[in-house]
Amino acid sequence: MAGAAPQHTDAEGVDAGVGLTALLVAAARAIETHRHDSLAQDIYAEHFVRAAPACATWPVRIQQVPDGDGNPLWGRFARYFGLRTRVLDDFLLRSVRRSARQVVLLGAGLDTRAFRLDWPSDCVVFEIDRAGVLAFKHQVLKDLSATPKVKRVPVPVDLRADWVTALTTAGLDPAAPSVWLAEGLLFYLPGPIETYLIDTVDRLTTQGSALAFEAKLEKDLLEYRDSPIYTATREQIGIDLLHLFDKGPRPDSAGSLTAKGWSTSMHRPFDFTRRYGRGPLPEPNDALEGNRWVFAHKPSP
């Protein structure tokens, strides 16, 4: 928040708190990668999991899970992340083929899209996350001698601080079209920070730009406290997602973008399960019930 931004010097890494959720998604992507009917391939994902002492006992293949696909965490929830990865891969690639050459990954975590997708050669990918998370990611990728397929710019900054200065200083050109992604991020942020983020994406984008984000619509997050997904995540790997999610009121970010002239569409992940032929379907007491994937485009003249 330019000007009056609070100073967040929190450099927490991937070994605790919300940083650990980046490893959870990496483990899910590792499992997805090794499936015979994989929706997304991320050869780096298992290396993140193996490099972090905090997840030394986590699986990276579904065969390592005693109850396999019947496991709510490593079966159904991991497949959810696999589907999400693929759908958002496709969204980003469509957007850069259309017009955008700048990609901004908000709360990028251990996202390796800069290394694994085939981008137009003049693209640049900005990765925003906290310093500790990006430092861990850098070390693992360096040890693997991994080379990005495109210009990649890590932007270590907390999204509760002045990330706009950090991003523009890192090279984002607000006068050229861009595509933005907030995957698995917004529900960890306080509502006013989300409002500021969405307003700022609008301010920093020209026509022809796009944004995708994930939201949770349920009025009371605790309603699903005993759902198989939350229970398994708590009991098997000690991550209490409901503890990490912000509990305050959520802004209507899709509505706010529509009011600013963006064209938006909101989808249930289950719609994509049907479209791609695999992924989670609705079930009783389902923590995924309120999840929505929102796609927004700032129309060209």
> Which CB atom, from 103 or from 208, has the smaller least distance to ligand SAM?
103
Within 133-152, the residues that bind ligand SAM by CB under 6 A are 133
Determine contact, residues 263/297, Cβ cutoff 8 Å. Answer: yes
CA 179 to chain centre: 14
What is the C-alpha to C-alpha distance for residues 172 and 255, in angstroms, rounded to an integer? Answer: 26
What is the C-alpha to C-alpha distance for residues 254 and 296, in angstroms, rounded to an integer? Answer: 8
Structure tokens at 106: 């908000």
Minimum CB separation of residue 300 from ligand SAM in Å reads 27
Minimum CB separation of residue 293 from ligand SAM in Å reads 12
- Region near ligand SAM per CB under 6 A, out of 20-28, 46-54, 215-223, 246-254: 20-28
Q: Does 18 bind ligand SAM (CB under 6 A)?
A: yes
Within 48-87, the residues that bind ligand SAM by CB under 6 A are none
Determine contact, residues 96/176, Cβ cutoff 8 Å. Answer: no
What is the C-alpha to C-alpha distance for residues 134 and 157, in angstroms, rounded to an integer? Answer: 10
| The binder of ligand SAM chosen from 125, 153, 185, 221 (CB under 6 A) | 185
What is the C-alpha to C-alpha distance for residues 138 and 144, in angstroms, rounded to an integer? Answer: 10
Q: Does 42 bind ligand SAM (CB under 6 A)?
A: no
Structure tokens at 51: 């490099």
Maximal C-alpha separation, the chain:
55
CA 234 to chain centre: 20
Determine contact, residues 32/79, Cβ cutoff 8 Å. Answer: yes
Backbone angles phi, psi at 229, to 5 degrees: -65, -50
Minimum CB separation of residue 254 from ligand SAM in Å reads 19
> Which CB atom, from 92 or from 208, has the smaller least distance to ligand SAM?
92
> Which CB atom, from 88 or from 208, has the smaller least distance to ligand SAM?
88
Q: Does 21 bind ligand SAM (CB under 6 A)?
A: yes
Q: Does 158 bind ligand SAM (CB under 6 A)?
A: yes
Backbone angles phi, psi at 11, to 5 degrees: -105, 25
- Region near ligand SAM per CB under 6 A, out of 38-46, 106-114, 119-127, 270-278: 106-114
- Region near ligand SAM per CB under 6 A, out of 21-29, 43-51, 140-148, 164-172: 21-29
Q: Does 155 bind ligand SAM (CB under 6 A)?
A: no
> Which CB atom, from 187 or from 224, has the smaller least distance to ligand SAM?
187
Helices 19-33 and 131-143: crossing angle in degrees, nearest 10, is: 40
Q: Does 212 bind ligand SAM (CB under 6 A)?
A: no
What is the C-alpha to C-alpha distance for residues 210 and 95, in angstroms, rounded to an integer? Answer: 7
| The binder of ligand SAM chosen from 46, 129, 162, 289 (CB under 6 A) | 129
Kindly list the residues in this chain that would bind ligand SAM in the complex (CB under 6 A).
Answer: 18-19, 21-22, 25, 107-111, 129-130, 133, 158-160, 183-185, 188-189
